[in-house]
């Protein structure tokens, strides 16, 4: 079996050959490489990294696997891939399904790249898949990983199959409106939503429409994929789980613990229920899963689309134990919405906050007041000289994204069988204004798309697109953040010490 080694330095340059200076990429702390050859007198090691052979300085290796979180740039939505030191893989949310993505990409594409190009595998294997709640900008990309029979997905994904061991959800579900074509969240009793989605057998029961409650629309289509392809299904809450943790991630299961802090489960008529916050959007968002990852001295809090009403309930639920929300790293609530509780953010006191948001959406996320609130409630540290502020840090996938545009000045077409041209081909240059391009696109989500036409010459074309992925890695003591360096093609790095 080939030797696997890990990068031990914050960054490590990858070279084209053993002795030259020509670089081909930059590896990050904790990246794995497959060692092809190393010799006692060599200063560089021959490795395979991301499906290509490279050379790396020997001194940059000798590390160990880390806890890795990839906050994926899915546009307006969420998508987070977690890789534990034991190499367990958890995907939480996936962004809109690809047909509603302006770029045509979502978390499914990043996970596919990770397994195919980074690991060199033909199958994606997730230990668990989690939908933080039942909004389509969170579960859509999860469905693209399961729907391998779709021609659209088959054309985009390089791996041939996906295996998911378990799927977990928050309970609130969209149900087909009784007697109509709309949707609702089910009946209310005692100030609570009482119709919650359950385990695998309950999912099969409701998909069959046995008692008149059937999952509605695209949410129902997604759950049908889950029922077909995933052997274990479960609901998570603050009290519904093994030792208050995601199954398979309790303290006895490994070094990384994933604790479930919300939603806050109630009981009505002897059955589980969740507080009715009064509006559908407040209910679906407010009952997002609240998960805290603990590894060594580090804490990472994932908050879904929580809102101010949910914040108040969580603070009441945990009472004097609101220190449970204190963290080194937090995913901002609801893409940077301003429906947040300042008091809750104070309890989080995050050293770094990551906002997942996108372009061409209808909510103007992230909101200016929300960004300010995350900053002023964050954990503050100064540089050694006492002059510059080191933390809190604030990352945003939308800001980290970068696009380079070029101006079309000439079109050259070669002759081919379906469109014969003179031997010299045909060129359209800046003096020819007759050529037109016709285009179409989509906004984020199932809103109206757009189309149009314009002159070819002088139009702008995409030269390069850098997705706004935010890397977070930790050994339990030190935490590294990395986003792509637009100018040099490497990484912009920040590091902090874990606090817990």
CATH number at residue 252: 3.60.15.10
At 269, list the tokens: 């008529």
Give residue-wise pLDDT tens across range 162-218: 999 999 999 999 999 877 678 999 999 999 999 999 999 999 999 998 778 899 999
467 within domain boundaries: no
Do 77 and 147 fall within a single domain? yes
Q: Does 258 have pLDDT greater than 80?
A: yes
Q: Does 420 have pLDDT greater than 80?
A: no
Do 217 and 281 fall within a single domain? yes
Per the CB < 8 A criterion, the answer to whether 158 and 117 are in contact is yes
244 within domain boundaries: yes
Do 283 and 383 fall within a single domain? yes
- The pLDDT value recorded for residue 82 is 99
Q: What is the mean pLDDT of the chain?
A: 91
Query: Helix or strand or coil: residue 412?
Result: strand
Structural domain total, the chain: 3
What is the model's pTM? 0.93
- The pLDDT value recorded for residue 467 is 83
Bridge partners of residue 262, in order along the sequence: 290
**Rounded-to-5 percentages of helix, strand, coil across the chain:** 20, 35, 45
433 within domain boundaries: yes
Return the number of other C-beta atoms located less than 10 Å from residue 346's C-beta: 15
What distance in Å separates the CA atoms of residue 60 and residue 9, rounded to the nearest whole number? Answer: 6
User: Does a cis peptide bond (omega within 30 degrees of 0) precede residue 263?
Assistant: yes
Which pLDDT band, with edges at 50, 70 and 90, does 273 fall under?
very high
What CATH number corresponds to the domain at position 41?
Answer: 2.30.30
Strand order in the sheet with 80-83: 232-235, 166-169, 128-130, 89-92, 80-83, 67-71, 470-474, 478-484, 491-497
Do 273 and 358 fall within a single domain? yes
Do 247 and 326 fall within a single domain? yes
- The pLDDT value recorded for residue 231 is 98
Do 3 and 119 fall within a single domain? no
| 476 Rama sector, left if φ>0, alpha if ψ -120 to 50, beta otherwise | left
Pairing of strands 410-413, 402-407: unpaired
Q: Does 306 have pLDDT greater than 90?
A: yes
Return the number of other C-beta atoms located less than 10 Å from residue 448's C-beta: 6
Q: Does 425 have pLDDT greater than 60?
A: no
Do 134 and 165 fall within a single domain? yes
DSSP states of 23-89: EEEEEETT-EEEEEE--TT-SEEEEEETTEEEEEEGGG------EEEEE---SSS--EEEE-TT--E
- The pLDDT value recorded for residue 461 is 83
At 262, list the tokens: 């919300």
Do 169 and 279 fall within a single domain? yes
Do 40 and 137 fall within a single domain? no
CA distances in angstroms from 117 to 110, 228, 462, 499, listed in the order given? 10, 27, 24, 34
At 103, list the tokens: 């770029």
Do 148 and 213 fall within a single domain? yes
390 within domain boundaries: yes
Return the number of other C-beta atoms located less than 10 Å from residue 376's C-beta: 12
Give residue-wise pLDDT tens across range 328-385: 999 999 988 999 999 999 999 999 999 998 765 566 779 899 999 999 999 999 988 8
Per the CB < 8 A criterion, the answer to whether 281 and 135 are in contact is no
469 within domain boundaries: no
Bridge partners of residue 298, in order along the sequence: 295
345 within domain boundaries: yes
Do 154 and 174 fall within a single domain? yes
377 within domain boundaries: yes
Do 439 and 353 fall within a single domain? no
- The pLDDT value recorded for residue 441 is 78
Give residue-wise pLDDT tens across range 127-141: 999 999 999 999 999
Q: Which residue has the tokens 């101010």?
A: 308
406 within domain boundaries: no
Q: Give the rounded percent of residues in the chain with a pLDDT score beyond 70.
A: 92
Give the structural domain span for 185: 67-398
- The pLDDT value recorded for residue 416 is 61
């Amino acid at each position: 079996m080939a030797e696997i080694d890990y990068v031990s330095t914050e960054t490590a340059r990858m070279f084209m050959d053993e002795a030259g200076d020509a670089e081909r990429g930059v590896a990050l702390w904790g990246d794995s490489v497959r060692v092809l050859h190393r010799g006692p007198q060599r200063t560089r090691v021959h490795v395979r990294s991301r499906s290509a052979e490279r050379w790396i300085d020997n001194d940059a290796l000798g590390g160990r696997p880390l806890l890795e979180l990839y906050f994926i740039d899915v546009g307006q939505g969420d998508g987070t891939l977690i890789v534990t030191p034991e190499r367990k893989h958890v995907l939480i949310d996936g962004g809109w399904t690809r047909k509603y993505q302006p770029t045509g990409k979502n978390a499914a594409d990043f996970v596919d790249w990770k397994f195919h190009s980074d690991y060199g595998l033909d199958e994606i294997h997730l230990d668990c898949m989690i939908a933080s709640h039942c909004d389509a900008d969170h579960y859509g990309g999860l469905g693209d990983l399961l729907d391998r029979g779709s021609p659209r997905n088959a054309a985009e994904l390089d791996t041939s199959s996906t295996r998911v061991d378990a799927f977990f959800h928050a309970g609130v579900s969209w149900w087909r409106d009784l007697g109509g074509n709309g949707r609702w969240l089910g009946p209310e009793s005692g100030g609570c939503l009482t119709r919650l989605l359950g385990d695998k057998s309950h999912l099969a029961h409701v998909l069959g429409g046995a008692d008149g409650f059937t999952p509605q629309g695209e949410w129902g289509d997604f759950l049908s994929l889950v029922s077909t392809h995933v052997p274990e299904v479960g609901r998570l809450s603050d009290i519904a789980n093994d030792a208050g943790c995601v199954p398979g991630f309790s303290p006895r299961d490994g070094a990384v613990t994933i604790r479930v802090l919300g939603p806050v489960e109630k009981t009505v008529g002897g059955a589980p229920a969740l507080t009715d916050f009064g509006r559908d959007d407040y209910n679906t968002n407010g009952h997002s899963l609240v998960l805290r990852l603990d590894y060594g001295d580090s804490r990472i809090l994932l908050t879904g689309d929580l809102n101010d009403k949910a914040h108040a309930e969580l603070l009441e639920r945990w009472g004097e134990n609101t220190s449970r929300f204190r963290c080194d790293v937090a995913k901002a609530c609801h893409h940077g919405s301003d429906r947040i509780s300042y008091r809750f953010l104070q309890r989080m006191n995050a050293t770094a906050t990551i906002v997942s948001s996108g372009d061409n959406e209808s909510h103007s996320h992230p909101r200016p007041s929300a960004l300010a609130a995350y900053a002023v409630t964050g954990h503050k540290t100064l540089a050694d000289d006492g002059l510059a502020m080191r933390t809190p840090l604030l990352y945003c996938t939308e800001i980290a994204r970068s696009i380079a545009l070029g101006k079309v000045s000439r079109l050259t077409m070669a002759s081919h069988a379906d469109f014969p041209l003179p031997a010299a081909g045909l060129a359209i240059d800046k003096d020819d204004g007759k050529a037109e391009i016709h285009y179409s696109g989509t906004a984020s989500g199932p809103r109206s798309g757009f189309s149009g036409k314009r002159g070819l010459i002088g139009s702008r074309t995409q030269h390069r697109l850098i997705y706004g992925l935010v890397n977070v890695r930790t050994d339990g003591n030190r935490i590294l953040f990395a986003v792509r360096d637009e100018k040099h093609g490497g990484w912009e790095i920040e590091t902090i010490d874990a606090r817990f």
